[in-house]
A and B are shown apart, each in its own frame.
Chain A
């Protein structure tokens, strides 16, 4: 145990002394964890609060739900409050209705006797509870189910196509020598310099003229030829020994078969990294779908979320819940696959 402690608190100082760099290190790391994770956790916690609770200030840490009780003589459960009586004692009472600055309340055990209590003397009785409606309603009443489906479709289709086209191009660029190769590479590098915002207007016009405006395919197709993906895969394919390919050729394999049955399986680790990137990129896409889609039922989650959040009367309890839903796939990727991402970026990012 002592060894664990010594390991955890390894310091630059000597003889167990705290060097100033050690103090800064631990403060930074702890503060960093709070700042990086905190907002997302706050989002989740807030998403389970009902609209009334969301309007409170100061906000509470955990979501609370007001306790209710069934009282004889009333059809619906009545909310419970902690009431301070005139004699100073406190009682738990249920509220029937509010009239002006006082409330009509009853003791749940003695429903006949109605007492009028000034609003200031009562505190809602609360327990930790989740307002699950926040999550359910948007799917049932609003179109979020549809938005979710659109996002999933776009992400899956785009990723599959990205993997296919990028790997084919990477294969051609890594395993063949041909006259225009450098020109093609240069062209791909050039496209790196052309972000969406620079070609927004004409791209819209092009997509419109091929009839893909206002369709999910119009969202998908322009995004699948990623230069990063081609470079990533090419870099990896370069390490596949040429002898394997030559041996396959001698075995009368067609070029297509070589690509499909030898190179592609061997490039699996790089494909995995690109899959993760592509899933995250396509799921998170915003500007392009915003422009291409004007029919509400085609909106992806991101667009739908933004639209509802841009209304005059923002219903935060729904928005927060849907934001959490939008966040979930990426969080899953993060939890299970983050090691791939960080190594993938460290490798590709230096290029």
Chain B
């Protein structure tokens, strides 16, 4: 439950190609983070998975079934929108129940689920309030709650923390992580903040201009970036780059250090600030 596969997904808007041939497999229960600079297509990709937009070509599979032509309503996924998209004229309880009522669930069961989610997210006292009477953090929890009550195959979160202040963001990050551990459901999380990505993800998908740059665990992305972009994107402060020449299997640095390398010609050397240490020697 919760295996998602993207096969050769392409998306164009009018004449502009936004996503170029994405292949991806997400395992059951994984927390996968899509990260990248703005405009890289991460939100678009999320919406394609959700079913809110259709890919121009390619296949989307959920648990082995081709859902490319299925509507968003029938994919069994739940989405937490960046703006939360809470119904302003309904109480929190009504917001949480709305989707379940569409499925003609008996009232008792709806109430049970709503109360369980409210307990999990500690919004039990807010159930009779309206979204406009809630703080940003509270609204965010209601948005998550709305997704939880549906018992979805997977959660899709579109930059859920970007509207919160820094302090709250840290707290919520920890809570989301705990939530994921507890629910054990697949989560696909979109963010532009690589710190969030690094702390939350089981695996990170680094995207740039509609293409996957690398998919790997956070640690591997940090220690074994496959290209310049990933190397420069992951890690704060950023990696420092130098141009150097490699000859005879060695790269010579000013100051005498030599690094063996199986390459000839111009190279770009990357050095993380974390790996620099002050030294007494000249």
**A and B in direct contact, judged by CB atoms within 8 A:** yes
Residues of A within 8 A of B (CB): 3, 14-15
CA distance A233 to B30 in the complex (A): 58
- How far apart are A269's CB and chain B's nearest CB, in angstroms? 30
Residues of A within 8 A of B38 (CB): none
- Bound complex: CA of A14 vs CA of B69, how far in Å? 6
Q: How many angstroms from the CA of A15 to the CA of B72 in the assembled complex? A: 12
Interface string of B60-83 (1 = CB under 8 A from A): 000000000111000000000000
Shortest CB-to-CB span from A196 to chain B, Å, is 39
Q: How many residues of B contact A (CB 8 A)?
A: 5
Least CB distance from B38 to A in Å reads 26
State the main secondary structure of chain A at its contact with B.
Answer: loop
> Once the chains are docked, how many angstroms separate the CA of A15 from the CA of B14?
18
CB-nearest residue of chain A relative to B51? A14
Smallest CB gap from A17: residue in B: B69
- Which B residues are CB-close (under 8 A) to A3? 14
Measured in the bound complex, the distance between the Cα atoms of B71 and A14 in whole Å is 6
- Chain B residues near A14: list those with CB within 8 A: 54, 69-71
B54: chain A residues at CB < 8 Å are 14
Taking the closest CB of chain A, its distance from the CB of B100, in whole angstroms, is 23
CB distance from A12 to the nearest CB of B (A): 9
A14-B70 Cα distance, complex, nearest whole Å: 7
A residues less than 8 Å from B14 (CB atoms)? 3
How far apart sit A219 and B71, CA to CA, in the bound complex (Å)?
61
Cα A15 to Cα B74 in complex, Å, equals 13
Tell me the nearest residue of chain A to B73, going by C-beta. A14
Residues of B close to A15: CB separation below 8 A:
69
Q: How far is the CA of A15 from the CA of B68 in the complex (A)?
A: 9
Would you give 6 A-B contacts (Cβ < 8 Å), ordered by A?
A: A3-B14, A14-B54, A14-B69, A14-B70, A14-B71, A15-B69
Q: B69 to chain A: which residues have CB within 8 Å?
A: 14-15
A142-B34 Cα distance, complex, nearest whole Å: 78
Residue of B nearest to A14 (CB): B71
Residues in B64-110 with C-beta less than 8 Å from chain A: 69-71
- Fill in one digit per residue for B14-39: 1 if any A CB lies within 8 Å of its CB, else 0: 10000000000000000000000000
Return A14 CB to nearest CB of chain B, in Å: 5
Rounded to whole Å, the gap between the CB of A21 and the closest CB of chain B is 13
CB closest residue in chain B, given A3 = B14
Chain A residues near B71: list those with CB within 8 A.
14
CB distance from A127 to the nearest CB of B (A): 48
